[in-house]
Amino acid sequence: MEFHYCQQRLASVLLLCFWMLFIRAHGSRKLYITYLGDRKHAHTDDVVASHHDTLSSVLGSKEESLSSIIYNYKHGFSGFAAMLTEEQAEQLAELPEVISVQRSRRYKTTTTRSWDFLGLNYQNPSELLRRSNYGEDIIIGVVDTGIWPESRSFRDEGYGPVPARWKGVCQVGEGWGSNNCSRKIIGARFYHAGVDEDDLKIDYLSPRDVNGHGTHTASTAAGSVVEAVSFHGLAAGTARGGAPRARIAVYKSVWGRGGAGSGNSATVLAAIDDAMHDGVDVLSLSLEVQENSFGALHAVQKGITVVYAAGNSGPVPQVVGNTAPWVITVAASKIDRSFPTVITLGDKTQIVGQSMYSEGKNSSGSTFKLLVDGGLCTDNDLNGTDIKGRVVLCTSLGIPPLMLFPVALKNVLDAGGSGLIFAQYTTDILDVTKNCNGTACVLVDLDTAQLISSYISGTSSPVAKIEPPRTVTGEGILAPKVAAFSSRGPSVDYPDIIKPDVAAPGSNILAAVKDGYKLESGTSMATPHVAGIVALLKALHPDWSPAAIKSAVVTTASVTDERGMPILAEGVPRKIADPFDYGSGNINPNRAADPGLIYDIDPTDYNKFFACTIKTSASCNATMLPRYHLNLPSIAVPDLRDPTTVSRTVRNVGEVNAVYHAEIQCPPGVKMVVEPSVLVFDAANKVHTFKHSPNVRENCKIRGKSEREKRSEHRVFVPVEEDKSRSVLVRITFLHSPSIGTAAEGDETGRGGTNSGRPAASGGRRLVSSDSTLSHLKQKIKPFYHFKGKSTHPDDVIASHHDMLTTVLGSKEDSLASIIHNYKHGFSGFAVMLTEDQAKQLAEFPEVLSVEPSKTYTTATTRSWDMLGLNYRMPTELLQRTNYGEEIIIGIVDTGIWPESRSFSDEGYGPVPARWKGVCQVGEGWGSNNCSRKIIGARFYHAGVDEDDLKIDYLSPRDANGHGTHTASTAAGSVVEAVSFHGLGEGAARGGAPRARIAVYKSMWGSGSGAGSGSTATVLAAIDDAIHDGVDVLSLSLGTLENSFGAQHAVQKGITVVYAAMNLGPAPQVVQNTAPWVITVAASKIDRSFPTVITLGDKRQIVGQSLYSQGKNSSLSGFRRLVVGVGGRCTEDALNGTDVKGSIVLSPIVKIDPARTVTGNEIMAPKVADFSSRGPSTDYPEIIKPDIAAPGFNILAAVKGTYAFASGTSMATPHVAGVVALLKALHPSWSPAALKSAIVTTASVTDERGMPILAEGLPRKIADPFDYGGGHINPNRAADPGLIYDIDPSDYNKFFGCTVKPYVRCNATSLPGYYLNLPSISVPDLRYPVVVSRTVTNVAEVDAVYHAAIESPPGVKMDVEPPVLVFNAANKVHTFQVKLSPLWKLQGDYTFGSLTWHNGQKTVRIPIAVRITIQDFYADIA
């Protein structure tokens, strides 16, 4: 025995030594896939032989090749898998016959992959699955379109008897007998009363499911294990539900074949009612049928957890449905599965898109076909193009891809096309490819479409081959992500409750449909995932209430993926998810099984907090407290004005003796305090209450946005809002009332305006005003306090004011001395100097509706310049030192100019600068006298312009359109007092550089809206002349592309060129004019609004916004009858038969007051405008675009002889041009690159309060560099940037392959564009560590020390060397290196960071964008 043991030990030692030697010899070898393209030989043996010949040339011998190759691919294509070192793989990749060499990746194939992704693998069951016995004997009620009982997912083999507590029935009907119920489907009912007859005719009058929706959801929640299923070969593997041993009760309430069918509240309520009787444990409702919530509340009070779908109206905000606090509302997320589809171009380039198309039965397989570019693939685009038998590239620009795809597909198929490559911005429409019906179709993003388009244009006979899609799962896929269609919060019904509650897999879920299996998407698919998990939790914790189960699910959800990367939300554009996207995060079943603490709720509390509107018992004690005082596992405060305290109670369900510590992450602008901050639990203290106090007045000292009760192994999260983690939602709301007049709000010190010329009284007295027009806003907006007078004569009204005030101040004399203004005509009120105590006393009077501190307002047109800190009345150092841009010449390439506008007055101007070489070109309606010392030159270019546009325009520099006049006056208009747009925006208009000179280059034509029409030729001619004439700055608010070389010539001559980013936002990848040598400008919104008061017949007042003005013959606004269009819509059909004459369209009576103007700090600004085009650039993905954001929304400027509002990046561009003019005047020796650097590195990424700048979109999000580049322009900081990133103009040519040739000789570099010395870094394909150099020049104090502050993009390690730069007289320039290293191997999305150099006085910040990738040319289609 002992000898045998020694033999075993010896064998083990020898084996270990052998493996050590093997590892030493082969440890660096990995499995690589070598792809050689199509087979070059007919016989497979010859193909294999060619593989060995190829590999032998690298390894040195046939023997080494034979031992290295693992697989030979020799049937459908040519290639092999071999064990190689990295160096050998690199050598192999250099061979001309080799297309690609890539590391092999581990793939797993699973159906309903979602359950593996969530950690519930039935083959390797987690503790939750084992202890719950896969949900055995838990009964899940599925309220849906019925069920298909013959599906393998509902087999009852191995099940015991039906639970004795079950009281349900098996209702027979058409195609359904009692034998269709089983030990799996233990009951079935159907409800058809009130359902449309047309839907009933095409359905079974029984629980049988003709639609497929109910079968899909039931099998997702509780389907039995079924091996070897797929959808046309995709997603092949094992199907099962989350609780595969649970029982199913069917409640067919929805009917018809299409979508989720049709039903009504009655059918759903009947189903819930029966389900309560029958004894279900969980109800799953993948419906958008509203049942008024009370049925669900009854079910919850019976101990049934109710799970509802959030709806599929995303990514629009405020559309989430089914939001009652007693149900679990489920958002949809995407899992780590994709369907890559390879496109091979004729030059052997391979592009990976995605598709779910399946080849037709008689398909001969993928082959090369001719490839054509069909543009949008509309009828007009394809007219005259022969696409029969060809693959067509269709590009969705300006039209939402979900709308365009079916049109493009139909047009391509109708014209005989054999394949479709559909290019779109990043959003998820993969489901549409299932409709391709055997035709090869594939989705790509705009980035890869650019590559395909370049191949088509550069090839005489372009061809492409589309392979069938494949299935890939695993860690290399960025997941989870909130699906684009998933409905978003906040809830309009319950804004003080965060909805949705949680996200779960709902995109491309494979489950049973009739006898087969299909991939389906929707929150309908996410809902049964949660229902299945709830069933497991109920089996594990049978005594837990629905609130406790919901708490466990919510507080343990994930807000990051397994790598720690923040979960993203698909939208337009994509963003980091926040609680209105996914509630608390993505569901984590195994953590939910052991949550540590739970937030429980007595079901009767729901009724109290909802004012007893839902009566479940005879008596109900209502509370007036807001609903956020419910003990929910989240907090939403939609109207935080003053400090608010919210209590929560938690119960320990983990270890008896436990200590939890609070971690706080605050929403920006809010201070949060939790008391007590430590909770100690033991056998005697299982329950604790804590208080949470958000305060609007202070920022939190701990950065972040959520609250957690933490101990070593349990983290209990409570959502409070924001993007990177869960959070209590605290929304700060200031709604401006109509009494504010036309002014911007300041503080009581009079900053930003006057205080009626009166100093503040002693004793801390402040000016208080009142206004009866606000009397009913106090319920909805803010407690404005004022009163109603009874008298009608003004003298009597004034007397009543003094009588009232005298009772507070003690004498008539004090009253007379204190009142500043008496409001006595349209309403009753007064403005008075009072102490705070006196104001409080006055507010107690029964006739007083409100008492509020007066706020100071300012009026300004082109308010944008005041907001940017360039107030001409109180000029900054920048304005003073540049003399308002005097002598700088701004060239405006646009639709011309209206010289008579007051904005172009030349009073006070000196002679035209001697360096000016331009001309004043005369023409129709334009003589030499129309040029002046302000408009110093004018040219026009009409060759090649459409004759129809020329007919309706002046054949001269005169502007028939108005666009050019608007942009010119915004950049350099003279100061003009007292202008407005019908009374709105009243104040002084002026340009950013009001003393600059203007040179006009009319290149765009037509009198219609927009910028008219032009051509590349006209714009190039304008740039060419501008270079000759001697302009300093060129402003081009155009969408005409001029191939960039004209602009590069201008830059090489020292002219800064400013271009509009264009107005295709908020879609990503649509930014235009993206050459690195120009400044590309995004548009932002400023701190100005136009509140418009709507007064309802019950005296409630609602504040909306509008730019409407009363007509000349209009009487004062009065009450009108209010009607509602069908379904709330005002389409022609909806209004058909409705009498709207003299009515306002929407309820009984209403009055709409004219709009007013409000500006100031209480308006959250700036924000990136929704129309502003977003990056990344498809032309230059290695360069962050846009560069900067500037005001471009509702900008008031000159149009012909008047002033008008206009919005667009066209309006933002002249703002930057005006700032550049000031900087050029201050720093005449600075190059265009230096000026651009100063603007980008000093831009603001927060507002004045430190709140992050937001970007409008679907939904709104925190802005990132693809929204606004470096941030929002800050002119005064740009004047003294500290350090600049300068560029020799000839470097542009080197880095762009000498495609733009301003010189005969050009030494091109093969380095990527991100090696240019730009004030930004964008690496779109980070696979391995990349080192990027940058050089900075000190332009401030001679002796200075700057330190690096690093904000790494998530998933990227970022190092800077050296981290300290020391400047002195001998060392004005320093070079540093930035090393970017991927932390993970995945096909990721862009993440963002920054590098800031600071010296205690100045900060020099550059944005950084990085996308981690695995494979080249992998389309990101969400």
Residues with catalytic roles: 144, 213, 524, 894, 963, 1210
SS3 state at 929: helix
Which of 840, 844, 825 lies closest to 768 in space, CA to CA? 840
> Going by C-beta distance under 8 Å and a sequence separation of 6 or more, which residues neighbour residue 385?
372, 374
CB 303 within 8 Å of CB 139: no
Cross-strand pairs, 373: 393
Give the torsion sign (CA, 348, 352, 357, 358).
positive
* Alpha-carbon distance values, 145 to 254, 524, 789, 1271, 1370 (Å): 5, 12, 61, 50, 80
Question: Dihedrals φ, ψ of 691, to 5°?
Answer: -115, 140
- Per-state percent for the chain, helix, strand, coil, to nearest 5: 25, 25, 50
Token pair in block for residue 566 = 């923040």
CB 433 within 8 Å of CB 356: yes
Radius of gyration of the chain (CA): 35
b/e map 1230-1253, b = 16+ CB within 10 Å: bbbbbbbbbbbbbbbbebeeebbb
Query: For the purposes of burial, counting CB atoms within 10 Å of the CB of 869, is it exposed (0-12), middle (13-18) or buried (19 or more)?
Result: middle
**Which amino acid, one-letter code, is at 1223?**
L
Element (H, E) at 949: helix 947-951
Alpha-carbon gap, residue 746 to 1347, rounded angstroms: 37
Token pair in block for residue 1052 = 């090489």
Alpha-carbon gap, residue 823 to 1202, rounded angstroms: 33
b/e map 882-899, b = 16+ CB within 10 Å: bebbbbbbbbbbbbbbbb
Alpha-carbon gap, residue 1016 to 865, rounded angstroms: 32
Alpha-carbon gap, residue 1070 to 398, rounded angstroms: 9
Alpha-carbon gap, residue 517 to 231, rounded angstroms: 6
CA dihedral 1265, 1267, 1273, 1274 (to 10 degrees): -60
Give the torsion sign (CA, 1023, 1027, 1028, 1031).
positive
**Could you write out the DSSP letters of every residue in 1211-1270?**
HHHHHHHHHHHHHHHH-TT--HHHHHHHHHHT-BSB-TTSPBPEE-SBS-EE--HHHHTT
Which of 240, 242, 247 lies closest to 129 in space, CA to CA? 242
Question: Dihedrals φ, ψ of 515, to 5°?
Answer: -90, -5
Three-state secondary structure readout of 1315-1366: HCCCCCEEEEEECCCEEEEEEEEECCCCCEEEEEEEECCCCEEEEEECCEEE
CB 1038 within 8 Å of CB 1004: yes
> Going by C-beta distance under 8 Å and a sequence separation of 6 or more, which residues neighbour residue 747?
855, 856
Alpha-carbon gap, residue 603 to 616, rounded angstroms: 10
CB 1258 within 8 Å of CB 572: yes
Element (H, E) at 228: strand 226-231
Alpha-carbon gap, residue 1322 to 1184, rounded angstroms: 6
Alpha-carbon gap, residue 255 to 208, rounded angstroms: 10
**Which amino acid, one-letter code, is at 726?**
R
